[in-house]
Amino acid sequence: MNRTLTFTDTGWTDYLYWRHTDPATLRKVNRLIDEIRRHGNARGLGSPEPLRRNLSGWWSRRIDHEHRIVYRTDNDTVTVIAC
């Protein structure tokens, strides 16, 4: 299933930062987003893991050893809050 992609303001700012500063990292982010849109939370690149406490219901995947993409999926939408 290919879900619709949305960004919060912060998530979009993060995405634009990678677009302007590091094309290699942007490619990794785009690959992760494609995986999330196709497969949801359960599997794929970047070691998907559920978040806890105040981010319960959200998931993260590793972009690299330092950075993560944080997102939530429902039946037809992926929402990115940080990348």
Give me the half-sphere count of Cα atoms (radius 13 Å) on the Cβ side of residue 7.
13
Residue 54's domain spans which residues?
4-82
pTM of the model: 0.92
CATH number at residue 18: 3.30.2310.20
Burial of 36 (0-12, 13-18, 19+ CB in 10 A): buried
Q: What domain count does the chain have?
A: 1
Q: Compute the mean pLDDT over every residue in the chain, rounded to the nearest whole number.
A: 94
Token look-up 């990292």 returns 25
Which tens digit of pLDDT belongs to each residue from 22-47? 999 999 999 999 999 988 887 889 99
* pLDDT given for residue 1 in this prediction: 67
Contacts of residues 69-76 at CB distance under 8 Å and 24 or more positions apart, as own/partner, are 69/29, 69/32, 69/33, 69/36, 70/11, 71/36, 73/3, 73/36, 73/40, 73/41, 75/3, 76/1, 76/3, 76/4
Query: What does the pLDDT average to over 72-78?
Result: 93
* pLDDT given for residue 44 in this prediction: 84
Query: What does the pLDDT average to over 66-81?
Result: 95
Query: What does the pLDDT average to over 61-71?
Result: 96
